[in-house]
Amino acid sequence: MGNTQAAINDLQQALALQPANEDYKIKLESYSPSSQAEIARSTTTQKNTELISETKKDDNQKVNVPLKEEPAKQEAITSQPPPNQQVVSVVLPVNKETTIEKLYKDEKRIALVIGNSNYSKEIGVLKNPVNDATDFAESLKSMNFEVILITDASYGKIRVEMMKFRDKLNEGDRDKTVGLFYYAGHGLQYEGENYIVPVDAEIQFEDDIPRFCFPIQKMVLNQMELTNSRMNIVILDACRNNPFPVIHRSIGESSGLGEMKKARGAFIAYATSPGSVASDGNGRNGLYTQELIKAMNKPNLTIEQVFKEVRANVLRQSGEKQNPWENSNIIGDFYFKLN
């Protein structure tokens, strides 16, 4: 096809595999007057390359690759080579630091963790949320999160810490910052919005809800979306029950939290499916947070794998009465724990 040099290269490689093949020698002579020197060099290629495997042994591994291709571009081959194909051993360096660790080693992680238990008798005291928030925060700290933890928080306290959380996310690099918001406690939905119930909420009528409760969509998700975080994780273990049974009929017949579908670049996790109620639990932690802490401490699991495991375990332990739920439109991966 007019590419003489390519033909010469191919014939030289063929002779390296089959030095005694006279047809290759004759064809090579027809292309290059100096082919005899090239033939002599090509026939010694096999012997020279066999010495490569003896050079470096520490922190390296040996793999078999065909001689006819460049060793630097080969992957490990464990199957048998084709018939009549000469095989040599070449040395490839071992990558000691995994790709995942390299990719995320400089990631800045900021979390706001809230647990509300000490409500008035009219609303209903909860046993586990403060324990859940405290234990979840400790796990996050071990995973290089900078954690803001508040418990039994009033509306004013939640708002102040939310603004601090937002500012910290803005200080991070846009491509290397992850924001995480966790809430355990009473929560409810009203007119398409989900609300955190502060411990100082005083609700007598339905229009008191937006006045005394903290909106998740408006004040949490929207604020996080405006920051430099590349990913926003919102975890809501807030589907305990309706804290205001007197006005339950006015709110609507559904319990728990509603599904939030308008979030951008967010991973939203609920302790149970939208409109359902989760148990507060009988041990130190609620069932959902208990299983979440276990799953997120397993190394090298993506965020999707973590919550899939949480869902399976919660379903099994609750007799399929509690079904955790997630909404996501994130781009890229996130790992709670690496090696």
For the chain, count helices (H), then strands (E): 13, 11
Query: What SS3 state is found at 202?
Result: coil
Are residues 270 and 242 both part of a single domain?
A: yes
Query: Residue 314: its pLDDT value, please?
Result: 94
Q: Cα separation of 158 and 113, whole Å?
A: 10
Q: Which two tokens stand for residue 146?
A: 């900078």
- For residue 257, the domain's CATH number is 3.40.50.1460
Higher per-residue confidence, 269 vs 21 = 269
Query: Residue 58: its pLDDT value, please?
Result: 47
Are residues 122 and 63 both part of a single domain?
A: no
Q: Cα separation of 287 and 289, whole Å?
A: 6
Q: Would you place residue 21 in the very low, low, confident or very high pLDDT band (cuts 50, 70, 90)?
A: confident
Are residues 82 and 125 both part of a single domain?
A: no
Are residues 78 and 107 both part of a single domain?
A: no
Query: Residue 8: its pLDDT value, please?
Result: 83
The pLDDT tens digits of the residues spanning 133-185 come to 999 999 999 999 999 999 999 999 999 999 999 999 999 998 899 999 999 99
Are residues 114 and 257 both part of a single domain?
A: yes
Buried b (16+ CB within 10 A) or exposed e, 43-57: bebeeebeeeeeeee
The structural domain count of the chain equals 3
Are residues 200 and 252 both part of a single domain?
A: yes
Buried b (16+ CB within 10 A) or exposed e, 233-272: bbbbbbbbbbbbeebeeebeeebbbbebeebebbbbbbbb
Query: Residue 79: its pLDDT value, please?
Result: 46
Are residues 27 and 74 both part of a single domain?
A: no
The pLDDT tens digits of the residues spanning 197-214 come to 999 998 888 889 999 999
Over pLDDT 70: what percentage of the chain? Answer: 71
Q: Return phi, psi of residue 60, to 5°.
A: -140, 170
Are residues 121 and 188 both part of a single domain?
A: yes
Are residues 73 and 161 both part of a single domain?
A: no
Q: Which domain holds residue 20?
A: 1-43
Are residues 24 and 84 both part of a single domain?
A: no
Structural domain contains residue 337: no
Eight-state DSSP code of residue 52? G
Do the beta carbons of residue 199 and residue 151 sit within 8 Å?
no
Are residues 253 and 290 both part of a single domain?
A: yes
| pLDDT over 80 (residue 91) | no
Structural domain contains residue 180: yes
Question: Who contacts 191 (Cβ-Cβ below 8 Å, separation ≥6)?
Answer: 210
Structural domain contains residue 335: no
**Averaged pLDDT of the chain:** 79
Are residues 35 and 67 both part of a single domain?
A: no
Contacts for 24-32: CB closer than 8 Å, 24+ residues apart: 31/4, 31/7, 32/8
Q: Would you place residue 114 in the very low, low, confident or very high pLDDT band (cuts 50, 70, 90)?
A: very high
**Burial category of 184 from C-beta neighbours within 10 Å (exposed 0-12, middle 13-18, buried 19 and up):** buried
Structural domain contains residue 338: no
Tokens 């190394």 -> residue: 299
pTM of the model: 0.68
Structural domain contains residue 228: yes
Q: Cα separation of 181 and 266, whole Å?
A: 11
Do the beta carbons of residue 258 and residue 274 sit within 8 Å?
yes
Structural domain contains residue 273: yes
Structural domain contains residue 247: yes
Structural domain contains residue 263: yes
